[in-house]
Amino acid sequence: MSYRYFEEYDINVTEKLRNNFKQVLEEVEEDPQREGIVKTPERAAKAMQFLTQGYNMDAEKILTDALFTESYDEMVVVKDIEIYSLCEHHMLPFFGKAHVAYIPNGRIIGLSKLPRLVDVFARRLQVQERLTHDILECLNKVLKPQGVAVVIEAQHMCMMMRGVQKQNSVTTTSGFRGQFEKIETRSEFLKLISSDLR
């Protein structure tokens, strides 16, 4: 069977949001009946549900569903995980990359679960600092590894298209637990995420 794209939305929530977005258009003196905008309130309602779907996802369960016993005890790094989130202050996007690593302590997780974990927390109204912390603490709690590291680099539309309007600014946040609190281990991780090994 060929790929089929499917999204599901709560009808009641969609209708409430649609009415709210229609009112926003009216308040900024746009005609909600104009041809190019007549379906915008419904589209925006569905987009908002998609962009905040992380509230309805269980991050810990995503990890526990793919835990495996394994003796490997060296660093596992998944870098350049794309992030798209909404700033909770202005509800404007911020986007960039997350780099996540852990050192197993008898258990590993399926590699695809790290990007999924990132998405669960990114698909909420967020600040980059809390996003970094949420990913770090969830991994640390569920895996109980020897160490966890998270670095996020992102650009914020609230700084680029409004406010200070700085187009080239990039915000970097980081968090480290366990073995990554040691300078040697942290340095190895930072070197790995800045290298192009391809």
pLDDT in tens, 76-133: 999 999 999 999 999 999 999 999 999 999 999 999 999 999 999 999 999 999 999 9
133 in active site: no
Q: How far is CA 26 from the centre of its chain?
A: 32
Whole-number mean pLDDT of the chain? 93
**113-122 helix and 128-143 helix, angle to the nearest 10 degrees:** 140
Contact 117/63 with Cβ under 8 angstroms?
Answer: yes
Label residue 6 by pLDDT band (50, 70, 90). Answer: low
**How deeply is 130 buried, as exposed, middle or buried, from its count of CB atoms within 10 A (0-12, 13-18, 19+)?**
middle
Q: How far apart are CA 39 and CA 105, in angstroms?
A: 52
Among 101, 99, 51, residue whose Cα is nearest residue 76: 101
Strand order in the sheet with 93-103: 125-126, 76-87, 93-103, 147-156, 171-178
- Binding-site residue numbers for Zn(2+) are 87, 90, 158
Mean pLDDT over 26-34 rounds to 94
Catalytic residue among 23, 26, 30, 89: 89
> Dihedral of CA 14/15/17/18: which sign?
positive
70 in helix, strand or coil? coil
Q: Note the pLDDT of residue 100.
A: 98
Catalytic residue among 128, 138, 146, 179: 128
87 in active site: yes
Q: Note the pLDDT of residue 5.
A: 53
Q: Note the pLDDT of residue 197.
A: 67
